[in-house]
Amino acid sequence: VTRIICRQLAPILGDLDANIQLTLDAIRDAVECGAQVVVLPELALSGYMFTSTAEARAVAITAQHPVFAQWADAVRESGAVVVGGFAELGDDALIYNSAAVVCSTGTLAVYRKVHLWDKEKLVFTPGSLAPPVVDTSVGRLGVLICFDLEFPEMPRTLALGGAELIVTPTNWPLETVPAGERVPEVTVAMAAAYSNHVAIAACDRVGAERGQDWNGASCIIDEHGWVVATADQHGVATADLDLSLSHDKRLSPLVDLFGDRRPELYGAVTAPRPDRPSPAISKEK
């Protein structure tokens, strides 16, 4: 089994040094607790509530920034993998909402969020590449960021691409939900896990920023779609999952969630029975 730990941090807006320390402390603590996959929030190194690109640029870093080597150092003994969010200064001088996948030997992948939520569009440039499936020593990790997960094509794409665990740094804004209900983002994640028979780990954040609060609804979901861990009072969600169980999409000898797909029929609705006349209404009873 693979131990997955989500660390629901409270980054400080615009304070890179403080956030670097926060992430390093969290990674080291998770590793001490046996984590093989450590998930940090979206924009963990920068904070979220930027009001302009200039403000985000001031705390944005390249994918070559030394913090990622520090993350790698922090998991060197354990061989764990870290996935966490940062404001990325691209080679093209544009600012992206990105997530890095870092193992003991360095950065394995950087993914730039494709579906920007609301006012993020005023700050960041959307990514132009599909999300990655990253082969790591602890499993094949698909990466999405927050709103990406709400487009069902995204977890579907990663699961079809062989992901065993979909890791999703998030910043889920606090919303009122009816009594007894989960936040909709978690419902969507459960459905994605169930429909794709794949595990999902989503790491939310806490700590109000400029009046914005967060759900703190981090969750680890097994390949059946059940939430097996949420954040404890320290903001830590821990679960041990056998990621190999995400491989086989056959639920029975006759059910294969992927083999049963009918992609040739997706994307266009059919007019009502165009191939045959509408039946006459019989008056017989």
For its own copies, the binding residues in 164-193 under the rule CB under 8 A are 178, 181, 184, 187-188, 190-192
Q: Provide long-range contacts, Cβ within 8 A and 24+ apart, for 251-258.
A: 251/197, 257/195, 257/196, 257/197, 258/159, 258/160
Residue numbers 109-128 binding its own copies by CB under 8 A = 109-110, 114-119, 121-122, 126
Residues 6+ apart with CB under 8 A from 44: 9, 11, 19, 22, 23, 84, 85, 86, 169, 205
| Annotation marks residue 42 as catalytic | yes
Which CB sits closer to its own copies, 50 or 68? 68
Q: Of 61, 134, 133, which is closest to residue 103 (Cα–Cα)?
A: 134
In contact, 84 and 99? CB cutoff 8 Å = yes
Which CB sits closer to its own copies, 160 or 245? 160
Stretch that binds its own copies, among 3-11, 41-49, 199-207, 266-274 (CB under 8 A): 266-274
Residues 6+ apart with CB under 8 A from 55: 14, 123
263 binds its own copies (CB under 8 A): yes
| Annotation marks residue 121 as catalytic | no
Out of 32, 77, 93, 129, the residue judged to bind its own copies by CB under 8 A: 129
Residue numbers 136-165 binding its own copies by CB under 8 A = 142, 150-154, 156-158, 160-163
134 binds its own copies (CB under 8 A): yes
| Annotation marks residue 113 as catalytic | yes
Q: Provide long-range contacts, Cβ within 8 A and 24+ apart, for 27-30.
A: 27/71, 27/74, 27/75, 27/80, 27/82, 28/74, 30/5, 30/80, 30/236
Q: Would you give the binding string for its own copies spanning residues 80-109, x where CB under 8 A is met?
A: -----------x---------x---xxxxx
Q: How far is the CB of 60 from its own copies (least distance, A)?
A: 15
By annotation, the residues acting in catalysis are: 42, 113, 146
